[in-house]
Amino acid sequence: MAFATLCCVQSRNHGHRGNKLDASQYYNHLPAPLMDINKLPKHFSWCSNGAGNLCTPSWNQHIPIYCGSCWAHGSTHMVQDRLKIHKKGMGPGVMLSRQALLNCGAYHGYGDGCNGGDVFDMFGYMTEFGLPDESCMIYTATDHHVFPEGLKQCPDTALCRNCNSNNESDPGTCWAIKEPIKYKLKRWGRIEPSNVHGMMSEIMQRGPITCSIACPDDFIWNYTGGVYTDVNNSTDVDHDVEVVGWGHEDGKDFWHVRNSWGTFWGELGFFKLERGVNTLQIESGDCWYAEPEYKLEEEVREGDLVGSMYGLIPRNHSAPHLSLA
């Protein structure tokens, strides 16, 4: 049986581009300072017990139906893991809503949903509008194309909603949550090409990074574990993944990388790429980092805002009432 590619389809670099955000206000050309190469450990991963296992759970972008959304997965994985790292594991891990991004991003020029996009499309949207977590909008592997043609803006209920019913036979009424907890980005940047030392320094000091890689059939279908070496020098970059660390195994240096194809693929959803030889183009200069902020979550923790069935409200304010009759 023949299958199409499981990566980000052919249009990863052909998504819509944002034109509202002044990227220079947020784009940060200064990655973490280079560490002394002799002080970098031989093995390190944010997703291992040695680092405290400060990673959120893995995802599968291909269910319930195929969706070329690696750009959304690779970037949100990195940002939510950095949130957990920055908070030193305090509280439940935040699972950002990939679906909210796929539903609404294209209306503002950020990516093309399941047809592909770029990591900085997610950065632009999250910086400008913020992303709620998955309790607002679960992943359905669809995008803006499910909404009526001709809409000029994303429906409010496509970003965050709640539903209720008066009785068991009633399908219920849903309404938009216009003030959910959202997470934003302060700044982001890209690591210089062929800078293995810089990639390791950024990961060690500030958290995982998101990199674009080539995605040959041999890697997709035949990888079952160990350090992957690309004997064909694949150059067709069309997939975004989260690099969480590095190590050494069987005489080879490797990157420890999280995929978005489910935990049944590879090594519990992760894989190892030979490090230092630009395997699958991972060191070719398309690696990104971002600094998240969680101001609204902090305001809830500090009691300035409280939650309700209709979203966040200031303390001592009454929540609006929605009649479901």
Catalytic residues: 70, 239, 259
Q: Among all chains, which residue has been given the structure tokens 């934003």?
A: 184
- In angstroms, the CA 172 to CA 324 distance is 8
Q: Among all chains, which residue has been given the structure tokens 């690309």?
A: 230
Burial class (CB in 10 A: 0-12, 13-18, 19+), 135: middle
**Which residues are CB-contacts of 86 (< 8 A; sequence separation ≥ 6)?**
207, 292
Nearest alpha carbon to residue 119 among 46, 191, 24, 34: 191
- In angstroms, the CA 159 to CA 50 distance is 37
- In angstroms, the CA 321 to CA 141 distance is 32
Tally of CA atoms within 13 A in the half-sphere of 136 that contains its CB: 31
Residue 188, phi then psi, degrees to nearest 5: -150, 175
Q: Among all chains, which residue has been given the structure tokens 């008066």?
A: 166
